[in-house]
Structure 1
Amino acid sequence: MTRSRSLRKTTTLTSATMGSEVKPPASGTLTSPDRLRKIDQLREKNIDVILPLPTLVAVGDQSSGKSSLLESVTGIPFPRGQELCTRYATQITHRRDPEVQIIITIIPAPQSTEAEKASLRSYRKELSSTNELRDQFVKILDEVNVYMKIKTDKNPEGEKTFSRDILKIEKCGPTEDYLTVIDVPGIFRLTSKGQTTESDRHLVRDMVTGFIKDKRTIILAVLPANVDVMTQEILALAEQYDPDGERTLGVLTKPDLVIERSAKEAVCNLVAGRKKALNLGYYLVKNRGGDDDDDSDDDSGLRRKERDLFQQSPWCNLPQERVGVAALRERLQDLLGEITDKAYPELRSEARKKLAEARDQRDALGPPRQTEREQQQYLAQIAAKFQQIVRAALEANYSTHSVFDEHSRRLITRVMGIVDTFNDRMRRKGHTYSFVKMETEDSDDDSASDADDGEDDDPFSEAEQEAAQRNESYFKMARRLFPELESIINMLEQPEFAVKHDNSNWIRNMYLESRGIELGTFSPIVLASAFRDQTTKWGPMTEYYVSTIIMGIHHFILSVLKGICADGKLYEAIKSIIMDDLLARYANGLNHAKFLVQVERETKPYTVNHYFSSNLQKSRGDRVSEALKGKRIWDGHCHSGGAYVVKFDHVKSAITNKSNTEHAQDDIHDILKSYYKVSRKRFVDNVWLYAVDHHLLSGPNSPLTLFSEQWVLGLDEDSLNAIAGESRSTRDKRKELTKKIVDLEEALRILK
C-alpha cells in the first residue's frame, strides 16, 4: 500500500547559544487507518505476546507528569489527583468511526486463568462523549479495580496492588485520527509502608521492560523538566534496551516549574540536541497542572497558557516543531505510521514462521492420549517407526531417515567393521604359540589367506591401529554413558595380542609330560590339551568384540529411541520398561558366544571338513620337502631341460631318521596346525552367525526386535499409562500450543 507524505520545509537553528542545528521531523498523512486498526485488533487478542507489535509506550518515573501528558495528547480526562489508573497499563486508542462513542474494556493478562479472562472480558462500558466519561470516570475506575482485584480503600478485598491486565479506552468519532498510546505505571524506587512492597516495585519494572524491550516499540520517555534528567531512572532503563537512542523520544513536562536560568538552558540544550542526544529528539510540552480548572469542554484555555509560556524566553528560541502538545501529537502519529508500515510485512512473515513452528511442536507431542486406546495407538506408532529405522539400519539403507546422519547410528556398518577386525585379529594373533612355517610352503586356494599363520610378528597396519583406538575410545565412552551394561558385558581393556615363539619346546614338553603307553603314536588327550593351550585367547578376544557389538547396538537403540520420542519423559519411561529385557537379550548373545568358545575348546578335536585332510597332507609333504632341500642335485639331462632331483635313499632317510619323540612332536604340530585353521574359521563364522546375527541382530529374540507393535499390544493398562500417558506438563504444553496456533491463525486472518 502506498502512503503519500507531504514534506514540510526543514527549519535550522544557528544561534550561538543554541549550538548544533536541530532538524524537525517530517510530517504528513497517516498510514492506512485500516492497517492501524488491524494492529489494534492483534493487540486486543494478546497477539503481542507472540508477535511484538508496533507500539507507542509512555513511560516515566512516578510524578513525572505522564498521566497529564496522556490527557493532553489523547483528550481523555483522567481524574485530578486520581492515582488508581497508574496501577495497570492503560491503552488509549483513537479510531475513526461514523459514530461518536468511548468504549472501555479490559484486556486480560496472558497468564490469567480462563475463568479470570472470561470475567475481565465481560466488562464493557459505552459512553457517548468526553463529558460523560469525565462525569463517570472515577466510578468506572472503581469498577475496573474490582474486576482486576486491585486493593483500594473502596475495594479492601482486592488482592493486588498492581495488575498486568490492561485497561483499554477506545475513542471513536468521524474526526478522530488513528493513534494508540499505552501508558504504563510509573517506576518508583522506594516502597511505601502498607501500600507498596519490594515485589510491587519489581513487578512494575518488569511491566515497563516488557513493553519497551522490543524493537517495534517507540519509547516515550516522560521526564519532568524541573529535575535533572540524569537522575531519572526511566531514561537509564530506556538506554538499556535502546542504547543508540533510535526509538526513544524524550518528552519534557512541567516547563513552567523551571525557574533558574541554568536549568532553563539545560532544558533547551536537550531539546536542541546538544546534550544527551536521542535520534528522535526531545519535545517540550505544558500539560494541565493540579491547579488548572477541570471544567473545560475544550482545552483552548490550556493551550493558550501553553502558547503564552512558549512565547517567553528562552522557550521562544526553540524550534516550534519541538514544543507544544500539538507538535508532539503530530509527531507521534507519524512515528506510529512509520513503524507500522515498516513492520506490517514482517508481521505476516513472522506469523507464518511462528505458526509453522507451533504446529511442528504440537505434532511432536503426538496425538492426545488420555484413553487406553489413544495411548496404545500412540505408542504403537512410535514402535512401528522404530522398527522401520531398525530395518533400514540392518539393510544399510541410510538414505531413508535423517536419524542416520550420525555415524554411530549406522548400525550394520559399524558391526561389520567390528566383525572384520575380529576375524583379522583371530587369524593373525588368536593363537598362543606360533606355528612353524616351512620355507617350501606355497599359497594354495585354501591357505592363501592363512599364509601368514606362522608370521606372528606382523605389525598392525595404520588402519588397524586406528580401529583399535576407536574401539578403546568407544569403551571409555560406554563406561561413562551406559553403566547399566557393566554387569552384562566385558568392559575391560582390549586383550593382549602377543604370540609366543617357543612352539617346539611347548609341544615337546606337553608330549613328554602327557605320554602314556602308546606304541609309535601319541594320546588324543595330548592334541586336545595342545588345542586348548593354543586357543587360550579365544575367550577374552571373543568377549571383547561381542561386547563392543553389544555396546554399539545399545547405543543405537537408545539414540534412535530418544530421537523419535516426543519428550524426555516418554523416552525415559520406555527405556525404563524395556531395560531389563534388553540386558537379558544382550546377555543371551554374549553367553552364546561364550558357549561357542567352550564347544570349540572343550570338546575333542574333530572335523569332517576336507580341508583338514588336505592341509595335513600338505604340512607333512612340506616337512619332507624341507628335509630334502639340502640333498637335491641338479640334473641337466632331464628331458625338460634340467631339474632338481634327489636320490631314493635320501628320501628314505628323510622319513626314517627321526626318533619316536621327534615323529610324535612333528605329527602333533602338523595335526594341530591343520585342525586349528579349520576350527578357527568355523568358530569365527559361528560367532557371527549365531551369537551376533541371530541373537543380537536379526533373530526373533534380538534386542532390536524388543520394542515393537507386538510388545505394545502386550502391555497392561497400568504399564501403558505409565509410558504413554500424558503428563500434566505435556497437556499444558499441548493446550498452550493449540491456543498459540489459534491466535496465529487469527493473526494471519487479520493481517490479510
Structure 2
Amino acid sequence: MAVGRDIMLLSNPTWLEKVDKLRDLNIGQHVPLPQLVVVGDQSSGKSSLLESLTGIPFPKDQSLCTRHATQITSRRDSENCVNICIIPGPHASDEHRKHVEAFNEKASSGFEFREKFVGILKEANNKMGLRADILTGDGAVFSEDVLKIEVKGPHEDYLTVIDVPGIFRTTTQGTTKEDMAMVRELVKTYIKEDRTIILAVLPSNVDIATQEILELAEEYDKNGERTLGVLTKPDLVFEASAKAAVCDLVQGKKRPLKLGYFLVRNCGADSGSLEPSELDKFFQKEPWNDLPQDQVGIPALKEQLRSLLVKITEREFPKLLRDVSDQIRECKRELDSFGPPRQDEREQRTFLSHIAGTFQDRARTALAADYSADPVFDQDELRLITHVMNITDVFSDDFQQGAHSRHFDNIRLSEPSVPPTPTDVTAELAPEYEAPVELMIDSLRALVPKAKVDDATPEELAELGDIIVLQNKFPMPRDEVTTWIRDNYRRLRGMDLGTFNANVVTTAFAEQSRKWGDMTKIYMSRVIITIHRFIAAAIRSVFPDEQARNKLWSAIIESLVERYQLAIAQANLLVEVEQRKQPYTLNRQFTEVLSKARGYRITELLRPKARKDTSQYGELQYMVNLDDIAKAAEGKRNVEHLQEEIHDILRAYYSLALDRFIDNVFQLAVDYHLLHGPSSPLKVFTQEWVINLEPEELEKIVGETRSAKKRRSKLAKKIEDLYNALKVVKN
C-alpha cells in the first residue's frame, strides 16, 4: 500500500510544484490554493510537530515563538539546497513589500540550514518589523508576512505545510487584545477556504473540549470533512481514563472527523535527538498498541498528509484554473468601469475629449432621429427630436384652439343646413368642429407625458426653477366678441368720419393675444426640460463614472442655464414684438382674407333678397338684382359698420400673426437657440470646450481620486498576478 502511494506521489510532483509557484506569487490572497495548514492553541506542541514533519528545529522559547505564517516546502531534487525568503502580506504597502522582498537567504544543505535557522529566523523577524523580544521593545508582535522555507534534496519528501501562530485567550507575554484578534483573523484566513486541509494540533494531556482550535475549525468545516486531528504529547497522559479517552478519539468513537485523528510523539526538550523510530517505540505499549498502526506515529502522518495534498490538488486543479480565469474577467470588468487611465493632463484631456466627441455623436443622432444607429436610443429620454416635435405639435394646436381671448364671429358662406368645411377660412372656429380637434390634441398630448413641466424632479427644479414655468391652466376663449369690440371702440374712438383710430386694432390685438406669453413660456419650459433630460441621459450613457460625471455636470450647468435663458429671451422678444408693435403685415393674404370677409358680409345681407334658380346643369344658384347690391349696407349705422370692419381686420391679421408667431417661436427660439444654432445647449459639452479647459479645471473634473488611483493600481497588479498564475497553471 505504501509503495503504491509513493508511486502516485512521485508521478504528481508537477502539480505540487505549480501550486507552490502560485503561492510564491501570493495568488492565495485572490484564489484559494490547495494547502495543509497547521493550527492549534499555544503550547499545543505545534513547533515540535513541525520539527518532526520537516526536520527543521523550530525554537521553543517564547521570544521566537511562531509570530507569522511559515510555509515549509520540501521537494525531491538531485542536489541539496535550501532557499529562504519572505512573501509580503496581502495588505503590505509598496514600501514594506520592497523591504521584505529584499530578504533572501540560501544554504547549501539541510544541515547548514538547521545550524543557522535560529539566526535566520531572528533576521526574518527583524525584516518584518517584529520586536526582537516578545516581552519588550519596539515593533509589532505578529505579522501578516509569510516566511517561506524551501528545502530540496534527493531524500526529501514531497510535502508543503503552512504553520500559523497559535491561538491564545489571554493577553500575556507582552501581547495585547489587538494581537489576539489579529492571530484569530489570520488563522481564519487560512482555514476558511474549501481547498485547505486543517491540521488541528491537540495535546493529549488536555481535554480537547477546552481547545479553541476545534471550535474554530468547526465554524468553517461544519461536517469535519477537511479537518485532521493530530494528538500530541501522549507520553504526558498518565491516567487510564485519560488514555482511554485518547484511544476513543483515534478509533472514531468520540467527536469523529472524516479524516480521523493521528497520535504522534514528537521530540521534546528532554528527548534529545531521538529518531522517529525510537520515539514511536512508545506506541508498542498498552493501550496504544491496540490502535490502528496507520494512525500512529510521524511516518504514518506524513504519508497521509502527502496523500491528502496530492488528492486535493488533483481534485481542485480544474476548478483552480476556472477561478483564476473568472477573477481575471471580474477584475477587467471593474477596471473597465473606471474608464481609461487619467493620471496626468494628457490622459485627462484625451479621456474627456473622447467622452465629449461621443456625446456630440449622440446629440447629432438624436436630432436626426436615426435611432436605429445605436441600441442606446431605446432609452426614451434620448429620443430628443421626437419629443420636441410632439411638444411643438401640441403647442401649435393649443395655440390654434385657445390662444385668443374671444372667438371671432362665424360668417357662413352657405345655407345653415349645409355645414361649412373645416378648411373654410370663415369657419375656422365653428363650434361643431371643436370636439374632434380636442380629441386630436389629447391624442398628441399622450405622446409627450414626460415633457410635462409639473413632473419635474427636485433636482431639475433646483437647476431650472428660475427659468421654467410650472403648468398653468388657461381660460378658454369667450364669446361676445362684438360687444367687446364695441366697448373697446367706444373707449378709444376719436373724431372719425367713416374711419376709426388705428390704436383700436392695436389694443384689441394685444387683448386678443394676451395669453400668448404664458402659453409660450409653458412650451419653452417643456422643450427645455426635454433637452435638459436628454443632455443628462446622454452624458450618463457615455460617462459611467458617476463621481466624475457629477463634477462634469457641475462644470457645464451654468452654461446650459445661460443658453436656456437666451432661448427664453428670444421667445419673450417675439411675444413683445407681436403684442406691442402696431399691427402691420406685407403678407398679401391679409388683403385677400379681409376682402373675402367683406364680401361674405355683403353676401349675408343679400341672401334674404336672393332668388333661387336652377341652371341648365341642374345646379342651385342665387340670383340677385344689381341694384340690391348697392343698397345692401343701407340702414347700418356708421358705428356698426366700423365695428364690423374692426372685427374683420382683427380676425384677418390675428390669423396671419398666429401662424407667423408659431413658426417664429419654433424656428428662432427652439430650433436655432436650443437645437441647431451655435448657442444651443447641446453644444456646451464639446471637444473644443475640453481643449480650452485649464489644467486645474480638467483635474477637478476627471482627475482620479486617491482611492480610485489606488484601486486601479491594485486591480492592474492583481490582473498581472492572475495572468502569471494562469501561465503557471497552463504550462
Shorter-chain TM range is 0.7 to 0.9
**Contact 1:92/1:170 (CA < 8 Å) preserved in 2?**
yes
Structure 1 residues 607, 30: closer, same or farther in 2, change over 3 A? Answer: farther
CA 1:349/1:606 → structure 2, altered by over 3 Å: closer, same or farther? farther
| Residue in 1 that maps onto 2:149 | 169
Tell me which amino acid in the other structure corresponds to 2:653.
Answer: Y
Partner of 2:415: none
Q: Which residue does the alignment assign to 1:494? A: 471
Distance 1:683 1:307 in 2: 113
| 1:218 equivalenced with 2:235 (yes/no) | no
The answer to whether structure 1 residue 506 and structure 2 residue 452 are counterparts is no
| Equivalent in 598, 615, 618 of residue 641 of structure 1 | 618
Residue-by-residue CA offset, 1:215-256 (whole Å, 9 max, x unaligned): 433333444455555554444444444445554444454556
Residue 48 to residue 641, structure 1, CA distance change in 2 (3 Å): same
The match for 1:35 is 15
1:15-164 pair list within 5 angstroms: 29=9, 32-82=12-62, 84-153=64-133, 157-164=137-144
Match of 2:363 among 383, 387, 390: 390
SS of equivalent to 2:457: helix
Contact 2:563 2:681 in 1 (8 A): yes
The 3 A distance-change label for structure 1 pair 583 and 639 is same
What amino acid does structure 1 have at the position aligned with 2:569? N
Matched, 1:203 2:182: yes
Does the 8 Å contact 1:224/1:254 carry over to 2?
yes
2-structure distance, mates of 1:681, 1:590: 19
Q: What's the offset of the Cα at 1:144?
A: 1.4
- The whole-number CA distance in structure 2 between the counterparts of 1:345 and 1:253 is 36
Task: List aligned pairs for 1:569-648, cutoff 5 A.
Answer: 570-619=548-597, 635=613, 638-641=615-618, 643=620, 645=622, 648=625
Aligned residue for 1:681? 659
Deviation at 1:702, TM superposition (A): 1.6
Residue 512 of structure 2: aligned partner: 534
- Equivalent residue number for residue 160 of structure 2: 180
Which one of the candidate residues 313, 318, 325 is aligned to 1:340? 313
Amino acid at match of 1:604: Q
Contact 2:126 2:132 in 1 (8 A): no
Judge which range, 102-111 or 255-264, deviates more: 255-264
Shift in alpha-carbon separation, 1:325–1:600, aligned structure 2, 3 A: farther
Helix, strand or coil at the partner of 2:406: coil
Aligned-partner Cα distance in 2 for 1:518–1:631: 32
Task: List alignment gaps of at least 5 residues for structure 2.
Answer: 413-418
Number of aligned residue pairs: give it. Answer: 721
What are the Cα deviations for residues 603-660 of structure 1, in whole angstroms up to 9, with x where unaligned?
222333344444445555555666777888765x543336364765987787555544
Q: Choose the corresponding residue for 2:389, options 389, 411, 416.
A: 416
Amino acid at match of 2:309: L
Higher mean displacement: 715-724 or 675-684: 715-724
Check 1:65–1:363 CA distance in 2 against 1; reply closer, same or farther (3 A cut): same
1:543 aligned residue (509, 518, 521):
521
Q: Does 1:714 align with 2:692?
A: yes
For 2:602 and 2:218, the matched residues in 1 are separated by: 99
Q: Which residue number in structure 2 is paired with residue 351 of structure 1?
A: 324
Answering whether residue 423 of structure 2 is matched by residue 444 of structure 1, we say: yes
User: CA offset at residue 393 of structure 1?
Assistant: 2.5
Q: Which residues in structure 2 correspond to 1:718-729 (within 5 Å)? A: 718-729=696-707
What is the CA deviation profile of residues 702-744 of structure 1, one whole-angstrom value per residue up to 9, with x for unaligned ones? Answer: 2222222222333344434444555444443443333223322
With 369-378 and 213-222 compared, the bigger mean Cα shift is at: 369-378
SS at match of 2:475: coil
SS at match of 1:458: helix
1:644–1:631: structure 2 CA closer, same or farther, 3 Å change rule?
farther
8 A Cα contact 2:521 2:568, kept in partner = yes
| Separation of aligned partners in 2, 1:261 and 1:438 | 125
Shift of 1:589: 1.4
**Residue 462 of structure 2 corresponds to which residue in structure 1?**
483
Instruction: Give the TM-score of the pair, scaled to structure 2.
Output: 0.86
What is the distance in 2 between the residues matched to 1:71 and 1:593?
A: 91
Please say if residues 441 and 622 of structure 1, whose CA atoms lie closer than 8 Å, have aligned partners that are also in contact. no
Q: Is 1:738 matched with 2:711? A: no
Within 1, Cα distance between the matches of 2:254 and 2:611?
A: 115
TM superposition shift of 1:188 = 2.7
2: distance between equivalents of 1:228 and 1:565?
63
The 1:480/1:581 distance shift into structure 2, 3 A limit, reads closer
CA change 1:555–1:49 in 2 (3 A) is farther
Q: Deviations over 1:337-385 (max 9, x none)?
A: 3333343334334434443554565566566556554544444333323
Question: Partners in 2 of 1:307 and 1:536 — Cα distance?
Answer: 115
Letter in 1 for 2:312: I
State the 1:150 CA deviation.
0.9
Pick closer, same or farther for the CA change 1:253–1:643 going to 2, 3 Å.
farther
Match of residue 12 from structure 1: none
1:17 corresponds in structure 2 to none
Distance 1:436 1:122, change over 3 A: same
Within 5 Å, which residues of 2 pair with 1:361-440?
362=335, 365=338, 372-401=345-374, 403-437=376-410, 440=419
CA distance in 1, matches of 2:630, 2:191: 109
Go from structure 1 to structure 2 and tell me whether the alpha carbon gap of 1:64 and 1:463 turns closer, same or farther (over 3 Å shift).
farther
Q: Secondary structure at the match of 2:66?
A: helix
| Mapped pair 1:455 → 2:434 | yes
Consecutive unaligned residues of structure 1, counting only runs of 5 or more, are 9-25
- Taking the aligned partners of 2:235 and 2:83, their CA distance within structure 1 comes to 34
What is the aligned-residue identity percentage?
A: 44
CA distance in 1, matches of 2:232, 2:585: 106
Question: Once the 2 structures are TM-superposed, how far is the Cα of residue 692 of structure 1 from its aligned partner?
Answer: 1.5
Cα gap change, 1:441 to 1:717, in 2 (>3 Å) = same
Shift of 1:684: 2.0
Amino acid at match of 2:128: M
When structure 1 is superposed on structure 2, of 586-595 and 564-573 the one drifting more is: 564-573
Q: Provide the C-alpha distance between the structure 1 equivalents of 2:375 and 2:249, rounded to a whole number of angstroms.
A: 60
Task: Identify the match of residue 674 of structure 2 among 696, 699, 703.
Answer: 696
Letter in 1 for 2:316: A
Q: Would the aligned equivalents of 1:27 and 1:331 in 2 still touch at CA under 8 Å?
A: no
1:455 counterpart SS class: helix
Question: Separation in 2 of the partners of 1:613 and 1:190?
Answer: 107
Aligned-residue CA RMSD (Å): 3.9
Mark the CA change 1:746 to 1:464 in structure 2 (over 3 Å): closer, same or farther. Answer: same
Change (3 A) 1:115 1:625: same
Paired with 1:189 and 1:567, the residues of 2 have a C-alpha distance of 47
Q: After superposition, where does 1:218-257 map in structure 2 within 5 Å? A: 218-224=197-203, 229=208, 231-254=210-233
